[in-house]
Amino acid sequence: MLRLGLIGGLSWESSALYYRLINEGVRGALGGLHSAECLLFSVDFADVEAMQAEGRWDDAAKLLADAARVLEGAGADVLLLCTNTMHRVADEIQAAVAIPLLHLADATARAALGAGLTRVGLLGTAFTMEQDFYVGRLRGHGLDVIVPGQADRALVHRVIYEELCLGVIREESRVQYRRVIDELVASGAEGVILGCTEIELLVSQEDCAVPVLPTTRLHAEAAVRLAVAPLAS
């Protein structure tokens, strides 16, 4: 079994979900008492959030690259960055280590294409929805990506940072997210990417009339397939 190195704490709420999903996946694949071989480097999200807000992406890249080096030195075979937004610095992290980084957007795009989807709506932080590092990566796989309007992007972003990252789940926010999702579907989205790992704490397939692509689960499932592959050969 390959040893997974998780860069987490971004926020820890979603990192806990990653840990559960990965271990459930390994147990499902191998049976019995099997669980994942994994290492977790959990950073202080307050520091990273300040870097995001101030546009200090170079500082964030250095912090997470340092975490990646620690995981590599501890014996990780493959890395997972347990956040969509910080894939903004995925190239810098990959350049810092010799082991592969399993890119979250790639795993998501493959799942979308495998489901026969070509036009998808994207929810996430403002950085993820508005900058090219994520949308461009999805489009590079051949997907047509649409995002909410400016006011709804601000709403989605606020709920992530002020509620979900703090473990706060509010029904009124779920109602608002459902409205935003419905508008994406009305604009032609054949599926909706939950492009922030915390969003899966709030909404699920039950909240959407078209297929939902939960990026945390998809990333974890891709990691499990990779981790257990040596045992299947």
Active site residues: 83, 196
The three state secondary structure string of the chain is CCCEEEEECCCHHHHHHHHHHHHHHHHHHHCCCCCCCEEEEECCHHHHHHHHHCCCHHHHHHHHHHHHHHHHHCCCCEEEECCCHHHHHHHHHHHHCCCCECCHHHHHHHHHHHCCCCEEEEECCHHHHHCHHHHHHHHHCCCEEECCCHHHHHHHHHHHHHCHHHCCCCHHHHHHHHHHHHHHHHCCCCEEEECCCCHHHCCCHHHCCCCEEEHHHHHHHHHHHHHHHHHHC
